[in-house]
Each structure stands twice: as structure tokens, then as C-alpha cells.
Structure 1
């Protein structure tokens, strides 16, 4: 095997041993049926590493930073997100595996394991966060659309940061309870739905969390228009973050999901800002 292919081989070998340790560590800190699933996947990764080692004739060390990174993702976002994020990286690697097809007879088996066996195992991962992701999406999306528009409109109508913050908090908190109640009733009416109470709680938490993030600039900054600029930035960060989260967990297109959330949220915000301008001119209201 020439030096170029040997370098590629050892790179794949390093990936396999890294993923082995990730799955092994996650299995140790996970309970229930998920632990067995993770142990099985870890075993497959170790087998792949051993196959590659037979051709490279060398042990390689794992990527410690990658192991730490996926453990951080696990603790922050949950097991499904962490594993799906790692699987997306493996999908890219699988294309490169094909360059070794003529050199390693078992390469087809490794690709088959990555494409079929591990995907089936990962689909069995059971996590509450993922079950109620639609409820979180409902709460976050609704808060983004309503609050960004409301705060943008109030910014021009009132031109007072504290008043905008107070109005936004009252509106947002009241709306979060209303949205939670609506989600509870909706899930209650659906015989195949998840637990109605948990659905309502996830919706409410996502809504209130988003409300506080959006109102925060008006509590910190005295200039309402500077606060509005920071509001736009925070809204954009929330959209990017949640679009990435959903795209990884549900295997959707990040670009399409992001674009949809962005156009809806900022479109409503623009319309509300115009309404605020019209209301101020129409009613000639001045707030000192």
C-alpha cells in the first residue's frame, strides 16, 4: 500500500477508535435499553478498528478533543443529538472509504455496518426530549413569531426600553400559559398523542425561555432602537441554533428549516414594525 492510501487508512482507523470510546463512555453514563444499544455500536466500531489495524500494522490514538466534544453535546442537548451529529460526520467519511476498496476486502462490510446496522440501532434510541420536540418547536416558533413582531412594533410606538420590556414580558408570559393550555387540550383530544401534561410543559418552557431572551436587550439597554438591533441578533441566533438542533435530531435539511423559520419570524417582525409606525402616526401618541 502506498503512503497516500496508508495515511487515509490510519485516518479512518483513528475515527473508528475515537467513535468506539465515545459510544463506550456514553454507554457507561446511560441507563436502560439505550445502554445495550450503545454497547453494541461500540463493539462494531472496535471491530472496524481491528480490521483496519490488520492492514496498517499500527495502533493509533483516538481524537481526545472529539470525544470531549461529543460528551459536551450529550450533556447539553441529549443523547439523540450527540449521536446523530456523529453519524452525519460518518456519512461523509463513508464516501472516502471507497478509495480503499481495492486494498481492503472487508471495506464493504464496514460500509454496510455504518449504513444499515448502526442506523437501525440509533433509531432505537429512546429519549424524552425527542418525543416532545414538536411541542418545543411549537413553543419556540410561536414565541419568536409573536414576540419579535410585538417588540418591534412596540419599539417604535413607545420608544421607551423599560415600557417595551414590561409590555413584552406581560404579553409573553400570558401567551406562554395560553399556548401551554392550547397544547394540552390539543394533545388531550388526540388519542395517539404523547402525554398532554408533558407536551404542555415543554411548550411552555420553550416559550418562556424564548420570551426572556428576546426581552433581555430592553432590560439592559436604555436606547430602544439599540435594543431592537440586539433583539434581531438574538432572534437570529435562536433560529440558527434550533434549526441545527432539529435538522440533526430529525435528519432534516438545515438550510430549508432555517430559511423557513427566518422568513416567517422576520417577516412578521417587519409587518409589526410598520404597524407600530402607523399606530404612532395615526393616534399621535407620545410617551415620555
Structure 2
């Protein structure tokens, strides 16, 4: 079948799919070059070869030679480098799912799409089977550290802001509170994991403590840089929302969680606690009449 015999929507979709296939071919080959495990490398190379085959099949219909979008490909490689192979695989999976639906929509007009649908569905299964990344095995510990730090420290900083109204004093107090809490949280995670019979108690504790300390540093930073404590608090709360957004986006992709539900829940709890703590700071300051 020639592209001239297809409707305008089908033509546009074919050209888009052709672009996606050549992009995927180059991207999978670049990812394969970064993978040390021979089995996983072979899977990515095989998938890359399939994508090139799909590209050539569609090209035989469109008659158009399309170049890969290198900026988009390099951006994806950067995301994989930063967030890990699992994150990248899940993004691939989402793209593959769109491709499968697209081919099913076109299948009535192009019979050879049946083979491509089978290939794309097989790609999903092979890529998902590869997933085994340490950071995701400890995602529960990371969530514990992040969530606890966000809830406790945003609340504490809000209370300190009205009570002290001194950015450097708030930063110092918040840092002491945060570091102490991170050590306590890491110790609790270690004991809890040991109690459950886990052999990785130390790693779980390290992931929890590291996530907590990382969050503490980001939330304290505005008070170290800015002199106005109220502006610093506003920036810190904005940073908290950004951390919640980025982390939940990562988890929603890597673990197939509901992004919107988790983001709204976490942001509501953190900001809600901060608001209540701010009010407590006002009440305590007014009740005791203490000025620092």
C-alpha cells in the first residue's frame, strides 16, 4: 500500500510513528552501550534492531527518510544517567504503549502492522523483566526519610520563623533539629529492619538517613542565603513542594504509582503541618511574650 492511498490522519500518524521508531533505535543503542550486564545489553541491542526494522517498514510506505531527533535522544540519555536505568525503561514502556495503540489504530489499513504490534508488546515484557535496580529496592526507606523530613522540618521551620524571626537562628536551630532527627530516623529504620529479619538493615538505615539529611539541607538553605525569615520560609516551602513533585514523578514512572494522588497527599500533609506549626508559633510567642 502507498501512502497516497491513506487518509490525511493516517499519513500524519505514520510519519510520527516513523520518527518515533528511528528515535527509539538510536536511543536503545546508546543505552545498550552503557550497560555492563551482557544479557541486558543484548536485549537492548535486539530491541534497537527491531525498531530500525519497524522504521524501514514504515519508510517503504511513506518514502520519506527521517533523521533521528538527537536533542531529544541526548535529553533522554541524560535523564537515564541521573535517574537510573529503571526510570528510563519505564519511560520507554510508556512510549511503547503509545506505539502499540497507534499501530492498532492503523492496523485496519496496513496489515503488516500485526507483526510490529507483536514486537512492541514483546519489548515491554523484555524491558520490564530487566528491572533490578538497588535504589528502587530501598524506595520504602527513601520515602520514609523524605516524607518524615518534609513533614517534621517544614513544620518546625514554620514554628521557628514566627517564634525567632531571625533567619540565621532559625537555620541553626533547624539544622540541629534536622540532623538529630535524621540520626534518630536512621537508627529506628535499622532496628525495625533487623526486627523483621532483614539482612539489609544497614543499607535501609543509610538510605533513610541520607534522604532525610538531603531534604534538611535543601530546606535550611534559604535561611542561610536570605536575611528575611518570612521570605526564607516561603522559599523553603516552595522547595518542599518541588521535592515532593520531582520525587513523586520519579516514583510514579519507576513504580507505576498514581502521581496526582501521591503528590496531592504528600503536599497537603507537609504544607498543612507547616501551617499549623506557624499558628502554634504565633500562639506560643503571644502567650509567653518572649522576644528573641
Pairwise CA RMSD: 1.8
| Counterpart residue number, 2:166 | 160
CA positional deviation for 1:194? 6.2
CA contact (8 A) 1:13 1:52 kept: yes
| Counterpart residue number, 1:54 | 60
Unaligned stretches of 5+ in structure 2?
Answer: none
**1:145 is matched with which residue: 146, 151, 155?**
151
Between 1:209-218 and 1:86-95, the stretch displaced more is: 86-95
TM-score, with normalisation over the residues of structure 2?
Answer: 0.91
CA contact (8 A) 2:89 2:127 kept: no
Unaligned stretches of 5+ in structure 1?
Answer: none
CA contact (8 A) 1:37 1:125 kept: no
| Counterpart residue number, 1:183 | 189
Query: 1:106 and 1:186, CA in 2 relative to 1: closer, same or farther beyond 3 A?
Result: farther
Q: Equivalents in 2 of 1:226, 1:117: separation in Å?
A: 49
**2:223 is matched with which residue: 218, 221, 226?**
218
| Counterpart residue number, 1:43 | 49
| Counterpart residue number, 2:133 | 127
Between 1:265-274 and 1:41-50, the stretch displaced more is: 41-50
TM-score, with normalisation over the residues of structure 1?
Answer: 0.93
| Counterpart residue number, 1:172 | 178
CA positional deviation for 1:256? 0.8
Between 1:259-268 and 1:102-111, the stretch displaced more is: 102-111
| Counterpart residue number, 2:69 | 63
**1:261 is matched with which residue: 258, 266, 269?**
266
CA contact (8 A) 2:144 2:208 kept: yes
Q: Equivalents in 1 of 2:192, 2:122: separation in Å?
A: 36
Q: Equivalents in 2 of 1:142, 1:87: separation in Å?
A: 31
Query: 1:135 and 1:36, CA in 2 relative to 1: closer, same or farther beyond 3 A?
Result: farther
**1:24 is matched with which residue: 9, 29, 49?**
29
| Counterpart residue number, 1:11 | 16
**1:136 is matched with which residue: 137, 142, 160?**
142
Q: Equivalents in 2 of 1:229, 1:27: separation in Å?
A: 44
Query: 1:103 and 1:27, CA in 2 relative to 1: closer, same or farther beyond 3 A?
Result: same
SS in 2 for 1:201: helix
| Equivalent pairs, count | 286
Q: Equivalents in 2 of 1:194, 1:43: separation in Å?
A: 41
Q: Equivalents in 1 of 2:89, 2:204: separation in Å?
A: 24
Query: 1:74 and 1:203, CA in 2 relative to 1: closer, same or farther beyond 3 A?
Result: same
CA positional deviation for 1:48? 2.3
Q: Equivalents in 2 of 1:46, 1:125: separation in Å?
A: 24
